Structure 1
Amino acid sequence: MTSILILSGPNLNLLGTRQPEVYGHATLADIEAMCAAKAKELSLALAFEQSNSEGALVDHIHAARGTHDGLILNAGAYTHTSIALMDAISSTEIPTIELHLSNIHAREPFRQQSYIAKVAVGQICGFGPAGYPLALEALATHLGHAA
């Protein structure tokens, strides 16, 4: 069965209470439940991890190699700063979709720079929690997975 890891970066554990005017009211648990329902519909195996630590995120990417067929990554602020995450994706060669709840291209200039985009197969941003099931569908299609 095709397996996808959804990896969430710093401050995403605070979803639902952190700047709801930007990130909405859905919690990370709400998003995980939405993804689990979509994964079941698509016959995908799914795993979730979240960390506020850059090194732990790199470790999760390394551990995904040989375990998961694809990665959906919301790296949060590390999107704009982390060459280490970019290198981990590149080194493991795991097809990755970069995901953001907000439209990073319509925000502050520093948020418009993405190191992850340089090694991702695509980027979904600005659709709030609805971006997650979109990312699952897109990655399943990219991987040639048929439900």
Structure 2
Amino acid sequence: SEELAAQVGKQLNELAMALHDDAPELESRLAQISTDRFVGVSFPESALAVIYDQGNFRALRLPRDFNDFATVTSLSEQLRLLLPRTNSEDVHAKFKVVHIEQLDDKAVATVRFEGSTNSAQLAQQFDANLELDWQVSDALPRLSAVKILTYDRVTLATIRPWFDDVT
């Protein structure tokens, strides 16, 4: 189980690096991490409930009882949902395996995702708990399914400076 967690962690690090780079070869990198029959989930932007809204600062959350997910069949589409990029200059992503269980040639991992994007106009923070299914018959585990357990997004409009030097 420790070896499996390390292998899944390695694949998740590759995923995080792919999110940082958003390079032209992104699709080929993601194809090496996921299976041909990848299945993920998406939700409409309107599903996010506003839990705090104070001018430039806003917090949104996917309700825990939300279950009207649409199917996503590409890992890149799934990642665009988890970490939407709007001309971001600075992108960070991190995955952490919280729990993993192997069932024959499949493993199910509970994973914590944290990401952020920053541009001159908008800073965003994303937090999610995910259930990831992995195919473990290959040399390295390959991601076959994503289920979103929780999802939060915090945005801060950064149009004006936070502090002014008045000395």
> In proportion to residue count, which structure has more helix?
1
Structure with higher strand content: 2
The answer to whether TM tops 0.5 is no
> TM-score, normalising length from structure 2?
0.24
